[in-house]
Amino acid sequence: MTIKTEIAQTIVDPRAYADRDRLDAAFTELRHNAPFDIAEPEGFDPFWVASRHADVLEIERRADVFHNAARSATLTDKAGDAFVQFVTGGERNLIRSLVQVDGQEHKDLRALTFPAFTPKALKVLEEQIREIAREFVADMLAKGPEVDFASEVAFLYPLRVVMRVLGVPQEDEPFMLKLTQELFGPNDPDMNREKKEVPPEQVMQLMQQTMLDLEGYFGEVTKKFRANPEACINSLIANAKIGDDYLTHRQMMGYYIIAATAGHDTTANTTAAAMWALAENPDVLAKLKADPSAMQGFIEETIRWASPVKHFMRTAIVDAEVGGKPVKAGDWIMLSYHSANRDEDVFEAPFEFRIDRPIHKHVAFGSGPHVCLGQHLARMEMRILWEELLPKIDTVALAGTPKLTQSSFVSGPKSVPIRFTLA
């Protein structure tokens, strides 16, 4: 059996991700009636959709069977796939980053920066990050009582934090933000470089132009840090060796690009969604102000609620079985983190924002060997921002209608107008 055409079209439609009722209705129907089944939307190769929490976890865990790189690691239509194969000489992904490698190569590459992203290693950054948070909070309070929290705080603060960790100078931040948004939101007219709706067959071309700009920039970064190494992630990447050899050009560019882009739009979308939730749930704001120990539950719920990474794709490299269904070698599978995080079998009342849920159940950071490298950094920077901001405000309410980015990959609120009162 295949998934109903209307649902299949919805889950590949970037506009559906900006219309949460439509998206949630489609995935709820899938979880109930076709939890692991094949979608055949027009213009795309057929793919399985894993909409349940248990199936997403199982596929991620069996990373020897379900690979990232065999086909595109993110949803791509047929025209995009053909374009990628044309420009890369037959590969299925435009870049070769941690996300687009498997097995030993993935282990070797991940081991290069993994130690820098552990909670212990990040602890030394706590004060620096708190300084950055204080600046953004002071700026927001000065601009109040009305601000667009998404564009004025949520999108800029994680960018500054990640760029500091990577070793990117502050004056290059707007360039990095622009290129990340172009990569993650090529279907959204507010985000892509054409600043208009583009036909599907043009999306990959736009993304490749963005990649070329990033490669130009990072070529200079390599020269700089090989000449003068510093204590930052970009310097680690520039000087990293596997065995006796520096990373290949393609490995190095992929590494810079994933490190520079994976960390801020994701955290930004979560932070913006969290403020939206606070504006709609005054009891949560009151609880957090009265009881700081509720913070961890709040952070985890905001990550589940936002699920800013909507999916990644896997490809079966041998015949296998998932959810009682036979999957063939070569089959392509969508892991819907958004849907898994609303699975009624795991989350009671999944469409309610509840900060007292059991911790560590959501799969918003993925799972298995590819689990988000920056998860501890993301949690820490969000905690620090809320610790700095919440004691200073008394109430917050929406001052307009929030808007979501049109993207089936990384999506969340691009605008959250709020009105607040000071404590």
Q: Which is nearer to ligand HEM, 333 or 372 (CB)?
A: 372
Q: Is the peptide bond before 145 cis (omega within 30 degrees of 0)?
A: yes
Angle at 34 between CA 30 and CA 37, to 5 degrees: 110
- Given candidates 275, 370, 405, 418, which one binds ligand HEM under the rule CB under 6 A? 370
Say whether 374 sits in a helix, a strand or coil: coil
Task: In whole angstroms, give the CA distance from residue 131 to residue 5.
Answer: 51
Task: In whole angstroms, give the CA distance from residue 380 to residue 383.
Answer: 5
Instruction: DSSP letter for 369, please.
Output: G
Site pattern 55..84 for ligand HEM (x: CB under 6 A): -----x------------------------
Task: In whole angstroms, give the CA distance from residue 253 to residue 217.
Answer: 10
Distances (CA, A) of 190 to 44, 207, 308, 355, 409: 25, 15, 17, 32, 16
When asked if residue 312 is in the footprint of ligand HEM (CB under 6 A), the reply is: yes
Q: Which is nearer to ligand HEM, 38 or 378 (CB)?
A: 378
Binders of ligand HEM among residues 194 to 223 (CB under 6 A) are: none
When asked if residue 373 is in the footprint of ligand HEM (CB under 6 A), the reply is: yes
3-state secondary structure 375-416: HHHHHHHHHHHHHHHHHHEEEEEECCCCEECCCCCECCEEEC
Q: Segment near ligand HEM (CB under 6 A), from 149-157, 305-313, 318-326, 383-391?
A: 305-313
Q: What is the DSSP string of 94-117?
A: S--SGGG--HHHHHHHHHHHGGGG
Token pair of 139, please? 């700026």
- Given candidates 125, 183, 262, 404, which one binds ligand HEM under the rule CB under 6 A? 262
- Given candidates 149, 353, 365, 420, which one binds ligand HEM under the rule CB under 6 A? 365
Q: Which is nearer to ligand HEM, 166 or 327 (CB)?
A: 166
- Given candidates 270, 315, 341, 407, which one binds ligand HEM under the rule CB under 6 A? 270
Q: Segment near ligand HEM (CB under 6 A), from 30-38, 234-242, 244-252, 264-272?
A: 264-272
Q: Segment near ligand HEM (CB under 6 A), from 339-347, 358-366, 400-408, 413-421?
A: 358-366
| Position of minimal CB gap to ligand HEM | 374
Say whether 37 sits in a helix, a strand or coil: strand
- Are the C-beta atoms of 318 and 418 separated by less than 8 Å? no
Say whether 245 sits in a helix, a strand or coil: strand
Q: Which is nearer to ligand HEM, 110 or 354 (CB)?
A: 110
# residues near ligand HEM by CB under 6 A: 29
Burial of 349 (0-12, 13-18, 19+ CB in 10 A): exposed
Q: What is the DSSP string of 102-160?
A: -HHHHHHHHHHHGGGGSHHHHHTTHHHHHHHHHHHHHHHHHH-SEEEHIIIIITTHHHH
Q: Which is nearer to ligand HEM, 203 or 373 (CB)?
A: 373
CA 57 to chain centre: 17
When asked if residue 367 is in the footprint of ligand HEM (CB under 6 A), the reply is: yes
Give me the least distance between CB of 86 and ligand HEM, in Å please: 25
When asked if residue 234 is in the footprint of ligand HEM (CB under 6 A), the reply is: no
Q: Segment near ligand HEM (CB under 6 A), from 38-46, 301-309, 397-405, 412-420?
A: 301-309
Give me the least distance between CB of 232 and ligand HEM, in Å please: 12
Give me the least distance between CB of 88 and ligand HEM, in Å please: 19
Where on the chain is the footprint of ligand HEM (CB under 6 A)? 60, 98-99, 110, 162, 258-259, 262-263, 266-267, 270, 303, 308-309, 312, 337, 364-368, 370-374, 377-378
